[in-house]
Structure 1
Amino acid sequence: MTLINLGKKAKDSTKFLAYASTKDKNEALNKMAQSLLDHKEQILKANQKDTAAAADNGIAETMLDRLTLTDERITAMADGLRDIALLSDPIGLVKHMWTNEAGLRIGQQTVPLGVIGIIYESRPNVTSDAAGLCFKSGNVVILRGGKEAFHSNKAIVEVLQKGLESTTFQKEVIQLVEDTSRETARKMMQLNRYLDVLIPRGGANLIKKVVENATVPVIETGTGNCHVYIDQSAELEMSKDIIVNAKTSRPSVCNAAETLLIHERVAEDFLPVIEQALAEWNVELRADEAAQAIFTQSVPATEKDWETEFLDYILAVKVVSSIDEAIAHINHYSTGHSEAIVTSDYSASQRFHKEVDSAAVYINASTRFTDGFEFGFGAEIGISTQKLHARGPMGLPELTSTKYIVFGEGQIR
């Protein structure tokens, strides 16, 4: 099916979905969740095709993990849809009302964005998360996954559509672009007549291409060049635990730490302990000259390392002379995603959260918490690193717009 046909069907489907009741939407989400469980084998077989091809192509182990589905992960996808059903419906809420001088009662009410296009890579669980969030917020979605996950995405969309068969909703409220060519992706970026907004989820290259080529309005879910800064007043054990978690708990995701900055006054005491802890995970350390002099094993960091989202067991390390240098480094190289300070100094923590310009700023906690589930939003559509409309983890409220409803009694101007 061509993009134009997908777009036409999507636009037609918005008329009913936008005004559907919360009860009907929740029942449909639960049926889609059950359909995932009922058709696990179909999804797993499709996923095996993708992972086998990826392994043959020499994909990195961390990226293969992002691509792989298991029985447990499909169950988690189904649970995610059920969790979305339990969330408050963001549509139709009147945020506030007031009366103007002419006696008009004016209110601002939440409405769906309309048709949302999502271009994403690797992680097939995004397919069900995005579909569920868009559906609950009254938005039709057109999904375009990467070719490496094509069979998985196709199976998941088919299964979700099967779940809709016994409801009053059209299956076209969730659609998949089956042509994974770059040309089709470019055309989707310019599908202004049918798409109301486009959301890219993936690596730096994908997001850059979408931002540069799209004529459809874009919500930029950025890459995660995340930093952890260990201040001179930090506790050693806390510092070690936070950086190990931020780097190793799941290095292939956007909220994993990529750079460690450490104050020179604690570097000699802390870095050997941190090196030993990270060695258990075979983390490669790419260090500046001062850190190299302390580490027993590391490689010299290059300029490119400070700006790279590794998505792997690699960590750039720099010794800094002050919190000023740490903040300056972060604001220069960061992608605006998530940054953390480890400190016992209140004034240092306040300076850090005020002066670091990122979507999420942590004081004495791992960057790995930047996530819709962890923030209590249910599933997320992505982490927005821009400042217009939405910033940070995007849940249901971020998938809405507003319109003004105005009540009069014959007033004219």
Structure 2
Amino acid sequence: MSDAAELPLIGAAVTRARAASRVLRTLPTDVKDAALSAMADALVERTDEVLAANARDVEAAAADGTPASVLDRLRLDAGRVAGVAAALRELVALPDPVGDVVRGSRLPNGLELRQVRVPFGVIGIVYEARPNVTVDAAGLCLKSGNAALLRGSASAFGTNTALVAVLSEAGQKAGLPEGAVELLPADRASVGELLSARGLVDLVIPRGGASLIQRVVREAQVPVIETGVGNCHVYVDASADAAMAEAVVLNSKTHRVSVCNSAETLLVHRDAPFLPRLLSALADAGVTLHGDDAARAAHDAVVPATDEDWATEYLSMDMAVRVVDDLPQALDHIARWGSGHSEAIVADSATAIAAFTAGVDAAAVLVNASTRFTDGGEFGFGAEIGISTQKLHARGPLGLPELTSTTYVVTGNGHTR
């Protein structure tokens, strides 16, 4: 077990969060909900303060040559602040998972057995550019009874400092303990300390690009839920309806390209007669197509693909295209190159659909639907911290129940063994 004294950058914050977590785990729902509402109100009331800090961050990032797409993720305005405040209010309306009975029974010896949801304790969130994640992560952790250690990017540190100050002050006035939400320094060393804080930090969740996630998974001595990377595929079977295939493929690729549930590779059955139509629709939408020889023969806009294309999460208006001999070959391709995030099939054949859903290994499998539906909100879960692509503890959208563990409560009447 680590000692807080061994963590010079984050030890004080971890100590406060650890103490706060013991209070948070027993707080009733109405106190947590009142705090979330107070935080939302405070964000709206202090919008100018948050925007002033954000303007300084954006100006500094622009001066450093930060790409426009990243600046857009960093930038806040009054509407975006109102949006993150509204997200906190939405959490108030969601059921509190703490105390839910997952399962229960009376054993033959008369003991009552209940498996009950409980908070993890202290959750560290490591994330990049988007300051809205600061508010979302804090709210999700608090509603599920956890203290939050937030480590955002250096480019958003001023904004995050202002946001956490607003959240902490409002939360404490509403009954939350000091240390319920802590912002960690935005340098590389603070991440290393967080990942080494075994026994003090109960869980770390990375939310960001592949390099960030890989570093956290590689170095962590504390439990990690891996999220994010989405090398997602759409397989179009020979039995698919052409119009449906076009709609699903276009939406999966072009609806929003910079997110993890955007499709990156199109796999089409060799006997599907509408491959040229699909490729034309994508090219007309502005997608750069990287394909194998069969795809290049079907449309002159396709440039040659390499293994790097099959492996790439583009997060841009690019898509890899491969023509496969049959469904098993599509499954083989996904097994080799996929990231276990979201995989879709477009087909009319019940046999093909059953084989695909049984044979593909992913957090979400979509049948005749866009990969863009892999989302906690779209699934009806409410807010989420990310999409888990691992298999232990939680898989898929990480909502409030996934931010809890469980305890077995065994009740007897003087039972002895």
Q: TM-score, normalised by structure 2?
A: 0.93
Q: Distance in 1 between matches of 2:247 and 2:191?
A: 41
> Residue in 2 aligned with 1:2?
9
Q: Distance in 2 between matches of 1:319 and 1:58?
A: 40
Task: Please state how far the C-alpha of 1:101 moved relative to its aligned partner.
Answer: 4.3
> Residue in 2 aligned with 1:403?
407
CA pair 100-275 structure 1, distance change in 2 beyond 3 A: closer
Task: Please state how far the C-alpha of 1:58 moved relative to its aligned partner.
Answer: 4.0
Which of 266, 270, 275 matches 1:270? 275
CA pair 29-197 structure 1, distance change in 2 beyond 3 A: same
CA pair 50-283 structure 1, distance change in 2 beyond 3 A: farther
Task: Please state how far the C-alpha of 1:159 moved relative to its aligned partner.
Answer: 2.0
Q: Distance in 1 between matches of 2:294 and 2:66?
A: 34
Task: Check if 1:202 corresponds to 2:205.
Answer: no
Which of 371, 376, 379 matches 1:372? 376
Task: Check if 1:74 corresponds to 2:81.
Answer: yes
Q: Distance in 2 between matches of 1:164 and 1:82?
A: 14
Task: Check if 1:253 corresponds to 2:259.
Answer: yes
Mapping for residues 76-115 of structure 1, pairs under 5 Å: 76-115=83-122
CA pair 318-49 structure 1, distance change in 2 beyond 3 A: farther
Task: Check if 1:317 corresponds to 2:324.
Answer: no
Task: Please state how far the C-alpha of 1:17 moved relative to its aligned partner.
Answer: 0.9
Mapping for residues 259-408 of structure 1, pairs under 5 Å: 259-266=265-272, 269-271=274-276, 273-408=277-412
Q: Distance in 1 between matches of 2:358 and 2:155?
A: 41
1:260 counterpart SS class: strand
Mapping for residues 232-243 of structure 1, pairs under 5 Å: 232-243=238-249
> Residue in 2 aligned with 1:190?
196
Q: Distance in 1 between matches of 2:167 and 2:360?
A: 41
Over 4 Å off, 4+ runs: none
Q: Distance in 2 between matches of 1:393 and 1:217?
A: 18
Task: Check if 1:138 corresponds to 2:145.
Answer: yes
1:172 counterpart SS class: coil
1:278 counterpart SS class: helix
Q: Which amino acid aligns with 2:224?
A: V
After superposition, the CA RMSD in angstroms is 1.8
> Residue in 1 aligned with 2:5?
none
Q: Which amino acid aligns with 2:212?
A: L
Deviations 1:229-271 (A, max 9, x none): 111111222222212211122111111111111112226x333
Q: Distance in 1 between matches of 2:311 and 2:153?
A: 24
Would you say the 8 A contact 2:384–2:398 is kept in 1?
Answer: yes
Task: Please state how far the C-alpha of 1:82 moved relative to its aligned partner.
Answer: 0.9
Deviations 1:93-114 (A, max 9, x none): 2333333344322222111000
Q: Which amino acid aligns with 1:155?
A: A
> Residue in 2 aligned with 1:29?
36
Which of 152, 159, 167 matches 2:159? 152
1:265 counterpart SS class: coil
> Residue in 2 aligned with 1:50?
57
Task: Please state how far the C-alpha of 1:75 moved relative to its aligned partner.
Answer: 2.1
Q: Distance in 2 between matches of 1:129 and 1:22?
A: 18
CA pair 156-384 structure 1, distance change in 2 beyond 3 A: same
Which of 170, 176, 180 matches 2:177? 170
Deviations 1:140-159 (A, max 9, x none): 01010122322222222122
Q: Which amino acid aligns with 1:270?
A: L
1:335 counterpart SS class: coil
1:262 counterpart SS class: strand
Q: Distance in 2 between matches of 1:386 and 1:74?
A: 32
Q: Which amino acid aligns with 1:100?
A: L
Task: Please state how far the C-alpha of 1:172 moved relative to its aligned partner.
Answer: 1.6
Deviations 1:143-193 (A, max 9, x none): 10122322222222122123214211124201111x222122111111113
Q: Distance in 2 between matches of 1:282 and 1:55?
A: 27
Which of 15, 23, 27 matches 1:16? 23
1:189 counterpart SS class: helix
Would you say the 8 A contact 1:112–1:137 is kept in 2?
Answer: yes
Task: Please state how far the C-alpha of 1:328 moved relative to its aligned partner.
Answer: 0.9
> Residue in 2 aligned with 1:231?
237
Q: Distance in 1 between matches of 2:174 and 2:360?
A: 48
Q: Distance in 2 between matches of 1:339 and 1:380?
A: 20
Would you say the 8 A contact 1:62–1:312 is kept in 2?
Answer: no
2:173 counterpart SS class: coil
> Residue in 1 aligned with 2:4?
none
